[in-house]
Amino acid sequence: MLARNPLIERLRAGQTALGLSLRLATSPNVAQMAATCGFHWLFIDLEHGPMAYDTACMMMDAGLRAGVTPIVRVPGHDASDANRALTNGALGILYPHVDTADQALACARTARFAPDGIRGVPAVFPQLGFDKPSLADAVTTLNAITCVIVMIESAAAVHNAGKIAAQPGVDALFVGASDLSVEMGRPGDYQAPAMREALDHVAAAARAQGRFAGLGGIGDLALLGRLVESGYQMLLAGNDLDFFMQGARARAGALNELDRRS
């Protein structure tokens, strides 16, 4: 029985946890590759990503086997979406566009079994290595190792961050920096004073309630360094498409430069 969530263990130890967003990757091998490269969790995006659901399930299983926590961003707050992802191997659910405390509480409850929530009881438990412990043990274990991450993507969510973080069952506040910057009228301007104030406010709200803070969408290393110092631990480092394009462009550019010199 696997019975652990490496992401949560790392966050509780006060360490930074780096996530890899999957868009191009369709081979389960990428989970082990991510682990080898130093990533700690997989971002499996079912809100915007093109991945088919059966492929997403294979990636969840591969993440479990490689020790890279599979986190699934569901399309919305519907309990059936979270339940389906958790049944098939997710160790955490990332809920988009959580603006209020009531929404946060409802999301948290969809990811856990009674009495803590309304998660449906599956026939199999990939997170437990497909072992079949007693149902009481399985429910207790899965409630403990499943993480609930709510996305802060609007000015309203930033304003309500303290109340959102206070809801039982919420483990982390995760800023969707791109959406937030657009919503605030400063697309991509992560250094804008209002944006910096919002980021600091969310980190403080999470810290005050004993929750973790995370974010995605920011590539500036200097800014990320300051945000890590302010309390952000769960970082979405980038996606496979961008990494491929950056590496491929640099390599092609270098080789084309050799050709021009010759």
Q: Name the residues annotated as catalytic.
A: 48
Residues present in the chain in total:
262
Q: CB 42: neighbour CB atoms within 10 A?
A: 30
Q: Which two tokens stand for residue 135?
A: 């149902």
Q: Are 139 and 192 in contact (CB under 8 A)?
A: no
Long-range contacts of 216-225 (CB under 8 A, 24+ apart): 216/19, 216/21, 216/43, 216/174, 216/175, 216/176, 216/177, 216/178, 217/175, 217/176, 217/177, 217/178, 217/179, 217/181, 217/190, 218/177, 218/190, 220/190, 220/191, 223/190, 223/191
